[in-house]
Structure 1
Amino acid sequence: MYNILVVDDEPLICKGLAGLLTSSGLGIGQIYTAYSGHEALDYVRIEDIDLLVTDIQMGEMNGMELMQQAKMIKPWVQTIIISAHETFQYAQMAIRLGAKDYLIKPLNSEQFLDSVRNALLKMDKPVTQMDDFLTRSPEHFHMEELRPEKNERLNRLLEDPFTPTMSEDELVGLLEELGITGCYFSLMRMKLGTQFEDRNKVITDRDNRLLRYAALNVAKELLHEDWNALAFYSAKGEINILIQWNEEEYAELDMNKINQLEMIGRSLHYHVSKYLGISTIVGFSQILKGVEFLNVLSRQADKAMQWGEEQGDYHVFYYGDFNWHNYSQDPSPEELTKQSNQIVENTRQYIDMNYNQKGLTIHDVAKKNHVSPNYLSYLFKKNTGYNLWEYVIKLRMEESKSLILNTDMRRYEIAERVGYESPEHFSKIFKKYFGVSPSELKK
């Protein structure tokens, strides 16, 4: 049974879609409704949501931003986008970010239920058991790999300073032959674990060869045709993913590209862990313009992964999170720890002063500290024991409880005071947190 979250700033549409789903006969458990992106994110954080059905135009946070943030919180959440605009650019971006469908209003009931049915069926696809996978020989796999010489040329571009000795036409020809057609680049590097999760069995050389092959396949499946990316083996046997944009793609809809990269990294880690049964560390670089900086991106991905290897419970690291530019040479673990502690303290102070701000998001807090949202959440949980958003909710709930018990303020006034736009949404969070509704506590 799957749980579905329906999001639209028009309550009648939410209720109509929820009614359709309830009477559809599909294998649906709970159906939740939210009237804004911020409400929806609360549900993603505190409930087991499998499928998100969201309108694209919703005030402060649009549907694609919601989808992107939801996938960073829980990479397995699938999304169907609903729009009143038949704009190819929007549809293209939605599919690229992983939407399972892009439906145009007014919705046809059968088409909508078919879309939901297809999304749920894909979640039901059986997963090959790891033991079965390892008993196969490489001949059973049918995936086109890069030719060894092409793989070697790509790695040479990543490792050596860019000093072309050929004419501009020859260089363009070489880059096109290698599949490098963009002008903006980021490099993601994934290192596979050396032991199966929840097992004592160590990976043999043969296992490692097959796992690398399968992990490369997972990366290609995830990126598919939606991203202009090259997936290939690194010189050390890791998986390299070179993501590239042309000028038009880079400016597309002004979406936050670092958030997109983190979303890809988290999805990659999740799927390799789920389907292959091994842990991974993913490091990714900043975005730079020009092929002459590919070797810089490679060093950045290595540094991000190197820091990641020292952490036991976090898996996707962005080079830009560590403020390396603040140091004349690579910082020691002690210096990075000191920097992390300062980020957490700054975050705590900011939240203590702003937890009742309407529409507060982790992205707002992360921006203040110049780090990515998920890394900030990791640091905060590691240092305080609280998930960052749990801490925000804790402050809001404690304040609202005090107001209920000690004042005559009405529910909508209290909701407003602690940062919720909707009294109904406030009541749902309150009951989830305390086990009783605001009115029951008042009595």
Structure 2
Amino acid sequence: MYKILLVDDEWFAIEGLKSGVDWHSLHISEIYEAHNAEQAQEILIRTQIDVMICDIEMPGSNGIELMEWVKEQNLAVETIFLTCHADFKYAQRAIHLGSLDYLLKPVDYDELKETVHHALEKIIIAQETKDRNEAYLKVYSQWETKKILLYERFWQDLFWQRIIPTKDNIEKALSSNLMPLSPSTRILPILMGIEQWGKPLSTREEEIMAFALRNAAEEMLLGQLSGQVLQDGNGVHFVLLFDDQTSDKRALTFDQIKKSCTQYIEACSKYLYCSLTCYIGEWVNLSELSRMYNALIQMEHNNVTMSQAVLFFKEQPKESRETQLPALFEWSELLEQANREELMELSSQMFEQLRGDVGITGETLNTFYHALLQTVYYVLHKRGISAQTVFSGRNELDQLSATKSLQQLQQWTQQIIHTVTVHLSLLDTEYSVVDKVKRYIGDHLLDEISREDLASIAHINSAYLSRLFKKEVGLSLTDYIQQERMKKASDMLIQSDETISNIAKAFHYTNFSHFSKLFRKYYGMNPQAYRRQIMITRASQTTKTDNHDIRPSAEL
């Protein structure tokens, strides 16, 4: 059902329009009337009008000006003008504004009915077009949102052979995932192997940085080329270059690809604090992509000596003899003695030898990782020490991180040697460590003190220091520092005229309320009351002393 607005300054003209046309047959349910442009504007603002029949000549604002206002408000109203004068100027202006028709008075009601019917048909067509466009945009928007996921699912299915790589199966999968490729498209896969981040990252931070890596790869490795950057189901990043033989991509040489990869590696190191190596495969058909994918994964796994490099699959060295690792009997004895210097020297020699061994693989690193851990556990068990008391950090024994490259395994080995030997050397000097920390706290109460600072001056693991200190003192490091600061603050309140806010700031308490709350915890009252009580006590003691010095006159 539709709504119509009749606008004419002559009331009998509106009455004639209302009675002269069978509006119900046109599915018009509501008829509104206005006698000037201002009234019409009020109705148009509060009501959705479908068709407006308007007289052009009206006192005040005329019909043309009313329609100009309708256009300014972006109102979807079909307008039919009525006039007593067949003036071409009005007709020209009405047409320019988009008026549906221009009828002369007195109105032929049959002609008006037909004109209104035409206006309603135009509304129906416009609405259907709008609905189709909205439906298309909705579907297109949903597809755009899911497009990357659809593409990534296709590649993962192909990588892991969830799609049996026959021509028919690949063609069906391309079609169902709306992939703009053909089964004959050739692909060059490039694996971007992340080796190490420049600083520790949380899981969320690592996801953000990995997203930035992929964006940088799209810009620097793809550029104007056809292809896609994606992350497989195991978190490995790939660039896939497409060669559909429709452009100059076949002229792309491996030297050019190597140059782009080198620039990308340098940019990631400089701006994203990430070291990585690019592993470049060979041009293969879609049916062969799974084989090349697995070959690059194995290639990355076996590369433990080359860092921040560009490596080609076709240049893979032939397999050589298995690398022989040294026995760790000597390491075991040196660990028991907490002989850190000799252990560091032995480890440096071993890793130097491994760097020159072309047969070293990821399995070599895993074997040494487990061998060293077994040696450490044996020594700790022999001394009656739980490994959990030595390795408190979540990442200290992370095998995946430690065995990612030869360099990272060496860093991990040196850290393990340092942690274990320091712990063993401190077994007989625990009290001296606590005393040293307490003295440092006492000398730096007005400084900001962190647990890491204290661990550094004690040369032990920060988590181990916290446990040792709590065991020997009965307070955590934080509580002990607060207690000593409150003692110092009470002395300053008694012995100086410094304002309480300045005293709080001296101890880095920028929130005075927090400082007052901590002080009350230790002394049962806030700093103002404490200082006031001390002053009253002192005054009372002074009065008593003065009275004691006064002698009766008879005794003088």
Larger Rg: 2
Q: TM-score, normalised by structure 2?
A: 0.29
Higher helix share: 2
Could you state the TM-score of these two structures normalised by the residue count of structure 1? 0.36
